[in-house]
Amino acid sequence: MKILIVDDDVAVLQGLAGVLNDSPHEIAYCQSGEAALESATAMRWVNLLITDVVMDPMDGFSLRAKLLESCPAMKTVFISGYDLNDYSAYTAGCDVLAKPFESHQLLEAIARVEAAMPKVVARPVATPVAVASPVVVKAVPLAVARKADDPDEAIPAKIGNYTVVRKIGRAEWGAVYQATQTSMDRPVAMEVLSEEALRKNIDAKARFLATAQAKAAVKHPSIISVYEAGEADGFVYYTSEYVDGLNLAEMKAQGAQLDDKLALRIARAVAEGVLYLQDHAIPRAPLEPRRVFLDKNQEPHLSNLAVLPGEGRENFQADAAALGAGITALLPGGTATDAGLQKLFTRMQLDEAAGGFPTWGALLAVIRELAPRVIPADAVKITAQEQAAIRAVEKMKREQQRSMTLVVTGCIVGFCVVGFFLYWQYLRGNERDLSQMVPIPAGEFIYQDGQKATAGPFWIDKYEVTIGQYAAFLAALEAEPTLAGQYDSPDQPKAKTNHIPENKPQIWNTWYGRAKIGKPAQFKPIDLNCPMFNVDYWDAYAYAKWAGKRLPTEQEWEKAARGTDGRLYPWGNKFDPKKANLGKDCIERPGPDSVGKVDGYFWWNPVDAMKGDVSPYGVVGMLGNVAEWTGTWDPQTKCPVIRGGSFHKEEATLTFRTGSGGVTAVDPNQCFEFVGFRCVSDTPPDKKK
C-alpha cells in the first residue's frame, strides 16, 4: 500500500515516522500540499492520504480533493488539533484523529484501509525526517537518528557574525539553530536555507530573503522580532529573537499546566499580536498552539507569522478556536477557575452563530475587561523596617504639633529634627523641581533623512514628565471632580473615564508609594523624579492640557532633539552607548543585585540623570530613558507617533519613530513601562511658577 503523510509540523512527521518505521508499506513524508502533489506524481498512485487539515498555503481538504482527481479510490485519514465537527461534509467517509493521539489509533486506521483493498507489494519505508524537536504524537520517541549525509552536518561552528550553538528544530526553509551574535553577545534563533530547498525551487533564495524582510517589518511587543537576513560563508540565513522556553504544544506534551492569570496573559498577548498584523494588513500564517511560546520567565511570545503577499491564510474562527483549545488543554482539568475566564475560552471555540466572537477586536475587548479581576495587582510589599520608619515619621509629626511652647527638652527637639529629616527624605524630599522649559527658535532644520523642514518658535519641557508631576495632576482631578472630562481629547473613547495609569488604582498607588519613599519596586529603582510611564496617549494629552501645554508634533520633537544640523544622536553622529539610557543593559526581570553595566541603568533613570543625553538646545533624555508620545497621528496607521528610544531598546537614533510611515502602529489605548512623554508650549512659561 502506498501512503502519503503530510503535515507542516516536522515534529509530527518525525513522530509518525517512528510509529511506521517497521511498516511494509511505501511511505512518503511531506511538509506541504505542493510537495505532497509532487510525491504523489513520483509514486504514480496513492492508496492512503494521512494529512493535517490546517496547513499553509494548501489545506488538507484541498489537497485531498486534488489527489482524488488522479486517485479516485484513495482513502483519507485527517489528523488535526482542531474540532472538525463543523466540517462533516469534508470528512465524510474518512477517519479523523485528534492531536495528540495514541500510536495504536493510527495503526488501526491504516489497518482498516488495508483490509478493504487488495494486498500490494510495497517497497521499503522512506527514511524518516530527522528533527530534534518534541513530538505531539504520544508514546513516540523524541529523536530519530540522523543520516551521515544529513545536510545539517555541513553547518559550521560559525556563520558570519554568528556562533552556532545547537540545532533546535526545523522550519519551512531548513534547520533552525540557537546561535550567538558575537558582536552583540546575544542569543538568536537562526534559520538556514537548506540545499534541498534550493534544489527544489530556483526562486527559494529570493523568497527566503523576501520572507525574512516581511517578518523584520513586524514590530510588536508580543511578536518574536526578526533581526537580520544575510549570506555568509556559503550559507543564506536570517536571525530572530531567541525564546528560551516551550510552545503550547510542547508544554502539553510535557504535562505542563497554566493558572488563570498566565492563561489570560497568553490569550491577551496573542490577540494583541494577531490584531496588530490584521490592522496593518500583513499577510500571515495560521495560528496554532506550536506558534505560541512561553519563555522561562513566564512571558508569552507569538511566532512571527508574517508571510509574503498571496501566501497568507487567515480564518478568525479557526485561529481563535486553536488558541482557546491550546490554552484550555493546559488548564488543570481543562477548566479555568474563574467562571468569566472559562466562558471566554469556551466562546473562543464557538462559531459566531453559536455565540462565538466575531472579530479579534471583540475578543480582545473581553480579555481586557477580564484582566483586572483575573490578574489582581501585584502589590509590592513594604518591609517591616520601612513601615516602622513611616510610623515613626507620623509619630514625630504629631509630637511637633503638640510642641507649641519653647519649653521643650533637648530630646524632643532632637526627635523633631530627626522627624523632619525622615519626612523630607522619605515622603517628600526626593522630588526635585524639574519644571524648566527650553526655548526652541523658529527656523529651518534637517528632518529625518535629509529633507528640510521648518518649526518654531515653541518651548519644550527640558525633562520628561515625572511621576511626581503626574501625581499632582491626578491629585488635582481628585480634589475637583467637576474637572473630570475637561482636559480629555475629543477623540478619547467613551469607555475611558479616568487617567489613573492602566486604570488600576492599586498598582498606581504601589508604584507611587514606592517612588515617594525612594525605594525599589519589583527591584526597579524608582523615585518621584523618574519618568511617568504606563500612560496611554489619552493620559498624556489630558496632562498636557491640564498643565496649559500640549504634546509636541513629530517635527517639533525632532528639531528639539537634533538641532538644525540633522545629527543622529544628541552629541553628534557617532554612537556612544554610555551617554544615553538604552537597552544594552536592560534586565527584563531584575533581582536585588541587578546593575546597569553599560550606561549605568538597567531600567529607567531619574529624568535629569544622564548628562550625555542632552540635545544642542539643552533638552535632556530624548534618545533614551523612555520613548515619548507625540501629538502627531500618522495618516497610514491612524495611530499617534511615538518618538525616541528607551531603556527597553538596544539601539536607536533620533530619527527613530514608532507608528509612522506605515511602520509599527501603537494603539493609543496601549501603555508601556518604557513609554512616557513631555510637553510643549506656544507661549513662554510663567516665570512666577
Which residue did the predictor score with more confidence, 397 or 56? 56
At 57, the pLDDT band (50, 70, 90 cuts) reads confident
Mean pLDDT of the region 431-450: 91
Q: Which residue has the cell 496554532?
A: 288
Residue 174: count other Cβ atoms within 10 Å of its Cβ: 24
- Which pLDDT does position 659 carry in this prediction? 54
- Dist. CA 626–CA 607, nearest whole Å: 9
Q: What would the DSSP string read from start to end of 179-245?
A: EEETTTTEEEEEEE--HHHHHH-TTHHHHHHHHHHHHHT---TTBPPEEEEEEETTEEEEEEE---E
Which stretch of 85-94, 99-108, 341-350 has the lowest confidence by average pLDDT?
A: 85-94
Phi, psi at 229, each rounded to 5°: -125, 150
Higher-pLDDT residue of 380 and 190 is: 190
Q: What is the pLDDT of residue 279?
A: 86
Q: Which CATH class is domain 2-115?
A: alpha beta
pLDDT surpassing 50 at residue 409: no
CA count, 13 A, side-chain hemisphere, 199: 6
367, 370, 375, 380: CA torsion to nearest 10: 110
- Does residue 100 carry a pLDDT above 60? yes
Residue whose C-alpha is closest to residue 209's, from 170, 169, 237, 171: 237
Q: Stretch 126-149: mean pLDDT, rounded? A: 31
Q: Is the dihedral of CA 391, 395, 401, 405 positive or negative?
A: negative
User: What is the distance between the alpha carbons of residues 604 and 541, in angstroms, rounded to a whole number?
Assistant: 22
CATH architecture of 151-241: 2-Layer Sandwich (3.30)
CA distances from 498 to 176, 244, 378, 679 (A): 47, 38, 21, 20
- Rounded alpha-carbon distances, angstroms, from residue 629 to 253, 489, 655: 43, 14, 14
Over residues 45-58, the mean pLDDT reads 85
Band (pLDDT 50/70/90 cuts) for residue 386 is very low
Instruction: Cell 498598582: give the residue.
Output: 507
Q: How far apart are CA 640 and CA 646, in angstroms?
A: 17
Supply the pLDDT for residue 402: 57
Q: How far apart are CA 461 and CA 560, in angstroms?
A: 10
3-state helix/strand/coil string of 536-583:
CHHHHHHHHHHCCCECCCHHHHHHHHHCCCCCCECCECCCCCCCCCCH
The pLDDT value given to residue 392: 53
DSSP, residue by residue, 478-527 = HH-GGGTTTTS-TTS-TT----SGGG-HHHHHHHHHHHHHT--BTTB---
**Residue 479: pLDDT band by 50, 70, 90 thresholds?**
confident
| CA geometry: angle 358, 361, 365, nearest 5 deg | 105
**Averaged over 235-241, what is the pLDDT?**
92
- At 153 the pLDDT is 46
Give the least confident one: 96-105, 206-215, 315-324, 660-669.
660-669
Residue 511 is predicted with a pLDDT of: 87
% the chain with pLDDT above 90: 40
Rounded Cα distance between 657 and 666, Å, is: 11
- pLDDT of 464 over the 60 cut: yes
Is residue 349 within 8 Å of 325, Cβ to Cβ?
yes
pLDDT at 136 over 90: no
C-alpha cell at 338: 474563574
Mean pLDDT within 9-20: 79
pLDDT of 529 > 90? The answer is: yes
Give the tens place of pLDDT for each residue, 598-649: 999 999 999 999 999 999 999 999 999 999 999 999 888 888 999 999 998 8
CA distances from 21 to 18, 109, 545 (A): 5, 16, 71
Residue 376's pLDDT is 58
Task: Quote the pLDDT of residue 688.
Answer: 38
pLDDT for position 383: 40
Answer yes or no: pTM beyond 0.75.
no
260-279 and 360-374 are packed helices; what angle lies between their axes, rounded to 10 degrees? 150
Q: Residue 40 — pLDDT band, cuts 50, 70, 90?
A: confident
Phi, psi (degrees; rounded to nearest 5) at 333 = 70, 10
CB 211 within 8 A of CB 191: no
Q: What are the residue boundaries of the structural domains of the chain, listed by start?
A: 2-115, 151-241, 260-295+311-374, 384-428, 437-681
Thinking of the domain 437-681, which architecture would CATH place it in? Alpha-Beta Complex (3.90)
473 φ/ψ angles, rounded to the nearest 5 degrees: -60, -50
- The whole-number average pLDDT for the span 219-236 is 88
pLDDT of residue 144 exceeding 80: no
Q: Could you read off the pLDDT of 164-187 as tens digits, one per residue?
A: 988 888 888 888 999 998 877 789
Indicate whether 68 pLDDT > 70.
yes
Interatomic CA distance for residues 72 and 49, integer angstroms: 12
Q: Apex CA 592: angle with CA 612 and CA 606, to 5°? A: 30
How confident is residue 38, by pLDDT bands cut at 50, 70 and 90?
confident
